[in-house]
Chains A and B, each alone.
Chain A
Amino acid sequence: MDNLMSDLKRQIVEQLNLQHVKPEDIGDDQPLFVEGLGLDSIDALELIVLLQQQYGIKLNNAEEGPTVFRSVRTMAEYIQRARA
């Protein structure tokens, strides 16, 4: 789980071009949107692309988005469930 979250942080920084953020500065439970990392709606789409490209996981239900992309930990948990 820790390795997966570490990979996700690095991939988020790369995919979203967050050059002002170091992967290790992103907290496991830090909110990714608005008051947390400050991501926006376009970033949300990029996260969906990231899941598909890196993990082969399609987010078919858009209503799941806010829950899945709440933090790095919720993303990692979603990936683990999808892989199970």
Chain B
Amino acid sequence: MTDKQYITGSCSILGNEVIKNGSTVFRQQEASVQTFLASVYGYTGANYPRFYKMDNLCKLGWLATEILLAQTFDAKAYAPEEIGLVFSNRSSSLDTDIKYYDTVKTMASPALFVYTLPNIVMGEICIRHQFKGENDFFIFDDFNAVFIHDYVTHLFNSGALKACICGWVELLDDAYRACLYLVEARQNNSALPFTIENINQIYQKTHG
């Protein structure tokens, strides 16, 4: 027997705009990726100096998670081991890989090297929120709702997780897009059933 899961919140960041649960909560005109992400950080009101050291992919995923969970998620309802993350993207950590490669020509940067894996973004989020559950980062050509749905459903049904932050965190040069959603085994007022159709709808609603 399988239990039902629900999407209890979402956050998308793209096109210099932040959208939480379908509503725009922050927008900035004519900004570079770096400037925009710094502005979103200011919007969150967070005081987390470690943020400045992250690469852009980590900043993007970290910010989307920060906004997704704010006033939405009751982490105390779960053990740290019951909260996991399943992310995906197209370009892996290529944005930082290229920057790191440039430093290797003169003197390799340790600070860049540590971000030359895509799953580091999940590590940064876990450090911030003390999550200790399953972490997976998949590389696909495009957003893949079917795979993520089936994989996360299995994690819930096998008892591995009771809450999971899922989605797409893609960044390469000036192009970026985050679309994260929170999956839980319990509902809130605005919960949607965790279905492939609803995952695609959340992603397509913010298809810039």
A binding-site residues for B, Cβ under 8 Å: 16-21, 38, 42-43, 45-46, 49, 52-53
Contacts and interface: CB of A to CB of B under 8 A. Distances in A.
B52 A18 contact: yes
Interface string B82-117: 000000000000000000000000011111001000
Q: Shortest 10 CB-CB distances between A and B: which pairs?
A: A45-B110, A19-B52, A20-B49, A17-B52, A46-B111, A17-B53, A42-B110, A49-B107, A42-B114, A46-B110
B53 A16 contact: yes
B37 to A, nearest CB: 12
Nearest to A45: B110
Interface string B107-130: 111110010000000000000000
Contacts of B111: 16-17, 42-43, 45-46
Q: Size class of B's contact patch? A: under 10
Nearest to B53: A17
Contacts of B53: 16-17
Contacts of A21: 49
Nearest to A21: B49
B115 to A, nearest CB: 10
Contacts of A46: 109-111
Contacts of A38: 49
Contacts of A20: 49, 52
A16 B109 CA distance: 10
A19 B51 CA distance: 10
Contacts of B107: 49, 52-53
Given A42-B114, A49-B109, A52-B107, 20 more contacts: A16-B53, A16-B111, A17-B53, A18-B49, A18-B52, A19-B49, A19-B52, A20-B49, A20-B52, A21-B49, A38-B49, A42-B110, A42-B111, A43-B111, A45-B110, A46-B110, A46-B111, A49-B108, A49-B110, A53-B107
Contacts of A18: 49, 52
Contacts of A45: 110-111
B100 to A, nearest CB: 13
Contacts of A17: 52-53, 111
28 contacts: A16-B53, A16-B111, A17-B52, A17-B53, A17-B111, A18-B49, A18-B52, A19-B49, A19-B52, A20-B49, A20-B52, A21-B49, A38-B49, A42-B110, A42-B111, A42-B114, A43-B111, A45-B110, A45-B111, A46-B109, A46-B110, A46-B111, A49-B107, A49-B108, A49-B109, A49-B110, A52-B107, A53-B107
